[in-house]
Structure 1
Amino acid sequence: MGAEEEQKGKQANEQPRSHPITETEFFTWKRRKDADASARKAEAARKRAEDIAAGTVQMNGRELFLHEPWVFDSSQY
């Protein structure tokens, strides 16, 4: 029984849409998708910055240089 349902699901995905989307519908969807991705990326960056400021995560080399440049100061030697 499970194989029959899976086969029906595959057939449904392979059949072309009876109502193709318009160009404006596609661009609206694409704009929304890009905005959502951008918002998720910005939220992740903000959270990472907060975590770095709180000292709960390790910084990578670039972040270390940006936040604590005295570590790389060679004028002391």
Structure 2
Amino acid sequence: AQDIPEREIGAGLTKIETGLRLRYEIAREFAPYVGVGYEAKLGETADIARLAGEDTDGVAAVFGIRAWF
């Protein structure tokens, strides 16, 4: 792995993402869901973000509908 400064990416592991979703199946083919996700920049990528004044982690709300036919 190598640094890619123009894309603000450092060598090594760059980020970790995780999430949790809760789904309610109204019918097997239709299920709305809500959830939360967490993302964090790691290692040299986090150092580059800190120097640029950016956050290195964040939490996001997720919602949607799963449908299949």
Is TM > 0.5 for Structure 1 vs Structure 2? no
Give the TM-score taking structure 2 as reference length: 0.20
Give the TM-score taking structure 1 as reference length: 0.19
- Structure with a larger share of its residues in helix: 1
- Structure with a larger share of its residues in strand: 2
Tell me which of the two structures has the higher relative contact order, counting C-alpha pairs closer than 8 angstroms and 6 or more residues apart.
2
Q: Which one has a bigger Cα radius of gyration?
A: 1
